[in-house]
Chain A
Amino acid sequence: MAFFKVISGAALAVALAAPALAQDMNAVQARQGQFKLYGHNLAVLGGMAQGRMDYDAEMAQTAADNMFHLTRHDQSRLWPEGTDSSAIMETRAKAEIWENLDDFTAKFVALQEATAALQGVAGNGLDALRPAVGAMGATCGACHEVYREES
């Protein structure tokens, strides 16, 4: 009887954990999708800054506008507790995020500010674009340095 109880207890735990996990996976995939869109726009902005493609004011402005709006997406449901890389294999988000939420948020705010500055100058020529893209990239790197696991 005791054995049966243990089993049913474990089964209950699995039953409770399973839907929570599905929800967590949605959040993980959604935030990764958000970052993929950052990369998609950086391909234009960084591509021009690095000389992989010619500068085009309209394209640069559109990508910068996108970055501005993408980084205004509310983050509150994208980072549920327990969705770090020690718990979920598919994520590179380090557990340190939830131990230092204020700092993590500050690093996100730094990105928001950098995209606002970029939006203001992206259409003004390559010489104006390059330093602003560099400054935005630095805010991406500053967060990845501490809060993202190596691949």
Chain B
Amino acid sequence: MNRIGALLLGLGTAAVAVGWYITQPVGLPETVSERLTGDALAGERIFLAGGCASCHMGTEDDADPKLLRGGAEFVTQFGTFYAPNISPDPEHGIGGWTQAQFMDAVMRGVSPEGQHYYPAFPYTSYAKADPQDIADLYAYMQTLPADATPSRAHDLGFPFNIRRSLGVWKALYMDRDWVVTGDLTAQESEGRYLAEALAHCAECHTPRDALGGLDTGAWLTGAPNPSGSGRIPAIAGDEFTWTAFDISAYLETGFTPSFDVAGGSMAKVIANLGQLEKSELDAIAAYILRAGQR
């Protein structure tokens, strides 16, 4: 082999090695979960703010938001995802999981088998959460009823059906820093935590690029609706003229300032958030207005 050939081979091997390295699923450091004990009572608030039920509850009309048997479908440009059963059923749900495994899934998008999850599960937001909150959430979810409905396999074409390739996506888009930065008031910071780390407003209200990553430069400025026609409205920018009172009241009751009533995927967001403290909704509203000033 000539020198150039050897050099190319060497570079090629290095690129594959780097590629293999960056696509490798990495969980939280082991010590994180070890030192935490969850408080189920506190976890209910995280469950509501995180909107876990919106995706993981059953799909029938009168489905119980605490019975997390899965089934909801998410149509995307990459294929159709189905929310899995995450009830405490040991076989079909996550009843057999340890707290550490749960935290790796929610905060790093890594499964107990060491595979990547698809970002249709908004772990890129939950990655910003306080680990104590996710330990509390784990404790709370143990108290929910079990259900033996099997999870449904996703409908994805090549190459999106290869989980390993998600490592590249994560390297590009999984950023645990806050998007809205600067001198925030205590209320705005509280709202930022609730909105960016838990309630994942941006997952719906921010446009995405060709690879499905959030365009943080257009934070909360509205987006095409992934599951059909119509648009998810802007909640930042010139078009959006609501006051803090309007936003907080909407999150509580679903009534807009012109007294229309929220629908679409926002209806479940409100069903969950409406159960938080009013002061927390006011904080989210303060954050949204602050984000609009970027």
B-binding residues in A (CB < 8 A): 39-40, 42-43, 46-47, 49-50, 52, 85-86, 92, 103, 134, 137-138, 140-145, 148-151
Contacts and interface: CB of A to CB of B under 8 A. Distances in A.
B120 to A, nearest CB: 19
B230 A151 contact: yes
Given A50-B249, A50-B253, A144-B263, A85 B229 contact: yes
B293 interface: no
Given A140-B261, A141-B262, 20 more contacts: A46-B259, A49-B253, A52-B245, A52-B249, A86-B229, A92-B230, A103-B61, A141-B270, A142-B61, A144-B262, A144-B264, A145-B263, A145-B264, A145-B267, A145-B268, A148-B264, A149-B228, A150-B228, A150-B232, A150-B263
Interface residues of B, number: 25
Contacts of B263: 141, 143-145, 148, 150
A50 B255 contact: yes
B267 A39 contact: no
Given A141-B267, A145-B267, A150 B259 contact: no
Contacts of B232: 150
Nearest to B230: A150
Interface of B: 61, 225, 228-233, 245, 249, 252-255, 258-265, 267-268, 270
A141 B229 contact: no
B264 A42 contact: no
A144 B261 contact: yes
13 contacts: A39-B258, A42-B259, A137-B254, A141-B270, A142-B267, A144-B263, A144-B264, A145-B264, A148-B263, A148-B264, A150-B264, A151-B231, A151-B233
